[in-house]
Amino acid sequence: MNNKKGFFYWLDKFFKGLFILIGFLVSILAGSVGGVVGAYLRDLPAVEKLKAYEPDKVARLYADNGEIFAEYFIQKRILITLDQVPKNMINAFLAIEDNNFYSHFGVDWRGIVRAGVVNFFSGKIKEGGSTITQQLAKVIFLTPEKTLERKIKEALVALQLEKKYTKNEILELYLNQIYLGSGAYGVEAAALTYFGKHAKELNTAECALIAGLPRLPTFYSPFNNYEVAKRRRNIVLAKMAELGYISYKQSQELSKTPLKLTGEHNWDSKAPYFSEYLRKYIEDKYGSELLYKKGIKIYTPLNLKMQKSAERALDKGLMEISRTKKFKTAPQSQRDLIFDIYSKTENLEKDKLYYGEVTEVDKNYFTVKVGIFSGKVKKDGWKWTKRELASELVKEGDLVGLSFAENKKDGEFLFTLENFVEIQGAVLALQPSTGYIKAMVGGLDFNISKFNRAIQAKRQPGSAFKPFIYTTALDNGFTPSSIIMDTPVSFRGADGKIWAPSNYDEKFKGPVSLRMGLEESRNIIAVKLLEKVGVEKVVATARRMGIKSPLEPYLSLALGPSVLSLLEITSAYGVIGNQGVRAEPVSILKIEDSDGVIIEENYPQIHGVLKPETAYVMTSMMRWVVERGTAKRVSELKMPIAGKTGTTNDFRDAWFVGFFQDLAAGVFVGYDDNREIGYKETGGKIAAPIWTNFIGECFKPDQVKDFPVPEGVTFVTVDPRSGNPVSKDSQNGLLQAFIKGTEPKSGAGNGNKGETKSPSESGNENFLGEGM
């Protein structure tokens, strides 16, 4: 009896002890878990800060018509509200990412268990267990590392987010924050990136594609893996049908539709040199925080039609110049870079340089691949090389320059072979009355060379400097009919060396009027005129007109040895066409923050620097340069255009700068290493055609008005060479403008103001500085 009682007694004791031990262990475990959770909670970010959280926003640049032409960003993100997201976009995300979103409290335990079972039996990760709230917690507050600690923190932050914010607030943040591949953050950026339209404009299939991206955004991107992206989209559509968001029939029909990708996934600027010029200015002045994160809006005067025409004209001109050189394929040192750039080509335009890989060579043709296009180059396409057989020029695997020639009715693409283009150039256009920059092209291809030759390059303008001398002369009593002797002249420099300038044609014409001296760009006339009016006065005139670069204070200044930028000289020429009024160049009209508050606003800064009569008479003289002189190629436009060519003596720099009413444009051509372009490759021959193609594409003759005539100007019909008045009916007479009171009188000659002696006769010897 006692033994039996003893057995139950000890059994009871055992179970009581066991329960006490289990309770003790559970309390220790609970305390440990509580301690761990408490420690994690102390280490977690304050979710209240989410109200003040401001994701990085995209800075946008706007052209003069309000069109966006470039963006600055570290993360491509455009914020929208939840009511701007289509219902099927939301449904697609809920279906594939978190169907229990509106019922769980931040962590979906059922989803975690289900995902664990599915992943266990499949032997791989097929489903994720993270809710939308957890994903948002990870993206905003936590690191992407895959550890147990991070997963615990993710769940804890998600629980706190659900306490502080509504489901719709969390969903809106998520849809604006999640990375969706190809540089796009948020559904609006993704819609524009992949489909070229706003999120609210997407159809159900397009919504499904975007909703399928978050798990593996780079892998599922349709730009990287088209077929994989399509399969992933179809999985989302099937999931939507399974959960009742769309019908099974809709899912099947939508799964058969192709992916219509029309977005600009590379987000390239439509004016890369201009946008980079502005980027540097804004970052230097305001810092990178404002530029890359605050969503500023930058309004500019850029005209996209003119910009496109300028780019096309430069491409065409540099290709034509390069065809005069010995044919070259792309060098091995640059092959990978060039191939990578042009392998992304998705459309073809005429008069644009491309590079493509040779895939097959036959004696009468060879095939090439340019981006997504394949085509042929036939004999007519390489006749400029003066080679008979394709095998004499190229072999399989070569990377060659090409221009698009034709898309035949049978779908065959034909290309013209182009040389490897080494020469560079720039085009710039601005509005003289306001200073607004309308177009800027700083080189052939920004992706290959980011050096901006319209702004950063300082090159010798050659004869393009002469208008500053002639303008100064007109302001100091000279007239278009003043005579200068085109005869040999020499000067002794400070170092004792003799400098004897010469004309381009190596000839001398004796007495020549100023008008003809400018028209024919006679170097001797310019040098003697500079001597007569004084170097200091010419430098002062150039400064007033906008030349800021250092100018050599010697007579050699007449031939343009002082280096200038294309922006400087184009802006200064604009003063002449704008009746003597200078407007400082303006590249930014206004900068606003994301709330519309103005950060910077620029208005035209104008001031008179020349008398209107001087400016008009100078304009009329420069019109003869176009009509009869070194820039005659430009006259084919049949517009009232004035301008001046520029060529350095050794043919290293070629220019043409011209203007008509309220537009001034300049073109520079030259090698970056300053080598010779080629014998007799002048500004009139290689720069003026680029200018002509540019302006001819932008304007029709009836759109360009004649220059207004100031009151203080009169007109006289003169002999072009002597400058003397002739009958209005004279066959050789030209109608020339004069400042009233300075016009030549019949039989009166031209006065002493235009006469000049040679420097040796006048006793002046030291006109050159050291090193000339």
Question: Mind telling me the catalytic residues?
Answer: 97, 463
- The CA distance from 706 to 684, in Å, is 23
d(CA 406, CA 378): 12
Separation between Cα atoms, residue 624 and residue 644, nearest integer Å: 10
Question: What is the CB-side half-sphere exposure of residue 18 using CA atoms within 13 A?
Answer: 6
Bridge partner list, 360: 367
Question: Which segments of 431-495 are extended strands (E)?
Answer: 437-441, 483-486, 491-493
What ranges make up the beta strands (E) of 459-578?
483-486, 491-493, 498-499, 510-513
Q: Taking Cα atoms as reference points, which of 339, 263, 307 lies closest to residue 76? A: 263
Question: Whole-angstrom distance between the N-terminal and C-terminal Cα of the chain?
Answer: 132
CB of 313 closer than 8 Å to CB of 341: no
Number of Cβ within 10 Å of residue 644's Cβ equals: 32
Which residue is it, tokens 């309390």?
27
Alpha-carbon distance 505 to 482, whole Å?
22
> Residue 659 in contact with residue 576, Cβ under 8 Å?
yes
C-beta of residue 371 within 8 angstroms of C-beta of residue 355? no
Residue that is written with structure tokens 């992933």 in the block: 232
Calpha distance 674→94 (Å, rounded): 62
Q: For residue 447, give the 3-state DSSP assignment.
A: coil
Local structure of 328: helix, strand or coil: coil
What's the CA gap between 222 and 282, in Å, rounded? 34
Backbone angles phi, psi at 599, to 5 degrees: -95, -40
CB 351 within 8 A of CB 312: yes
Rounded distance between C-alpha atoms, residue 365 and residue 362, angstroms: 5
Contact 583, 432 (CB under 8 A): yes
Q: Tokens 């070259």 belong to which residue?
A: 328
To the nearest 10°, report the CA torsion of 361, 362, 363, 366.
-60
The neighbour count for residue 208, using CB atoms within 10 Å, is: 31
Residue type, 414: L
Q: Please give the structure tokens belonging to residue 21.
A: 């031990």
DSSP letters along 357-415, please?
Answer: EEEEE-SSEEEEEETTEEEEEEGGGGGGGT-S-GGGT--TT-EEEEEEEEE-TTS-EEE
- The shares of helix, strand and coil residues in the chain, as percent rounded to the nearest 5, are 45, 15, 40
Q: What are the CA-CA distances from residue 51 to residues 47, 55, 61, 594 (Å)?
A: 8, 11, 29, 17
Contact 472, 536 (CB under 8 A): no
- Quote the Cα angle for 655-656-661, to 5°: 150
Q: How far apart are CA 735 and CA 582, in angstroms?
A: 27
d(CA 585, CA 73) in angstroms, rounded, equals: 26
Distance of alpha carbon 190 from alpha carbon 194, whole angstroms? 6
